[in-house]
Amino acid sequence: MRYFVAVAEELHFGRAATRLHMSQPPLSRAIKRLETEVGAPLFVRSSVGVTLTTVGTALLDEARALLDHADRVRTRVSAAAGNTTLTIGILGDGTDPAVTRVAAAYRRRHPGIDVRIRDTDLTDPTCGLRAGLVDVALTRAPFDETALTVRTLRADPVGVVLRADDPLARRDRLRLADLNDRRWFQFPQATDPVWQSYWNGGTPREGPVVRVVQECLHAVLWNGTVGLAPLGHDLPAEFAVVPLTDMTPSRVVAVWNEGDTNPLIRSFIEIATTAYRH
């Protein structure tokens, strides 16, 4: 299932093999075996990559759920065996210097703790917190905060991501109204509506559905789609980010389940609060 999800997300056997740290032939054989077990093709193959069939699309959500459940089982079994772990969900730019400072400070304070990182896509701003997949998350608001505790760590200005040759890319700044005639990338239907609305500038939009940052960038590159992103991220020369003057800043937050008294979480929040001040 992990092999299938990797190919489904990369839509390319070579890239999926690289991601899985394996060669392509055994990956292709494993997918063939899975298709035989399922009794239907999962991918349409071509010289440039693959696309999901209807059966493959249906299997993808189930596969992700199965893998999430397997990860949750491992975490619970480890806890029962007495292993002390903290699972952190991260959404966004893992190269942010503040994340590096948090990691270094947490290692110094808790050298014996097994810290596990769950890197998530853009469809769940809580990084699996509600499903019990993580103990605490470093993510971006806003989203539905019901039964959660949220600590704001930093606020970043927001800009619009454009192709570098787009006429609007020559502007010093833009307003949301300047983008009303453009297609925007969208998140899947099950995505938190508060989160979706924010990244659509508070207005219903139309455009391609994406799950991860790379899909967002490809939507811009191939189709001239637009979307929003925090300022300060380094993008390839093919892209431009123009500041938006009427967009509420994007808040970096730490979030955990309301009432959770785990001392490892409290320590993490203290360290993250300090790290993001610098």
Residue 72: the pLDDT is 64
pLDDT of residue 263: 86
Interatomic CA distance for residues 17 and 2, integer angstroms: 11
Instruction: Quote the percentage of the chain above a pLDDT of 90.
Output: 64
In this chain, the answer to whether the domains covering 84-155+251-275 and 158-248 adopt an identical fold is yes
pLDDT in tens, 111-164: 888 899 998 888 889 998 988 899 999 999 999 998 899 999 999 999 999 999
Distance (Å, rounded) from C-alpha 165 to C-alpha 240? Answer: 9
Question: What residues does each domain of the chain span?
Answer: 2-65, 84-155+251-275, 158-248
- CA 36 – CA 222 distance, rounded (Å): 34
Q: Is the pLDDT of residue 196 over 60?
A: yes
φ, ψ dihedrals at 224, nearest 5°: 70, 15
pTM metric for this prediction = 0.69
Is the distance from CB of 220 to CB of 162 less than 8 angstroms? Answer: yes
pLDDT at 174 exceeding the cut of 90: yes
Q: Please say whether the structural domain 2-65 has been given the CATH code 1.10.10.10.
A: yes
- The larger pLDDT score, comparing residue 210 to residue 262, is at 210
Contact of 277 with 164, CB cutoff 8 Å: no
Checking if the pLDDT of 168 tops 90, the result is: yes
Cα(165)–Cα(172) distance, integer angstroms: 14
Q: What is the pLDDT of residues 21-69, one digit of tens each?
A: 677 888 998 999 999 999 999 999 988 889 999 999 999 989 988 887 7
Record: fold of 158-248: D-Maltodextrin-Binding Protein; domain 2 (3.40.190)
Pairing type for strands 114-119 and 250-257 reads unpaired
Q: What is the pLDDT of residues 61-115, one digit of tens each?
A: 899 888 877 766 655 665 555 558 899 999 866 668 899 999 999 999 888 888 9
CATH architecture of 84-155+251-275: 3-Layer(aba) Sandwich (3.40)
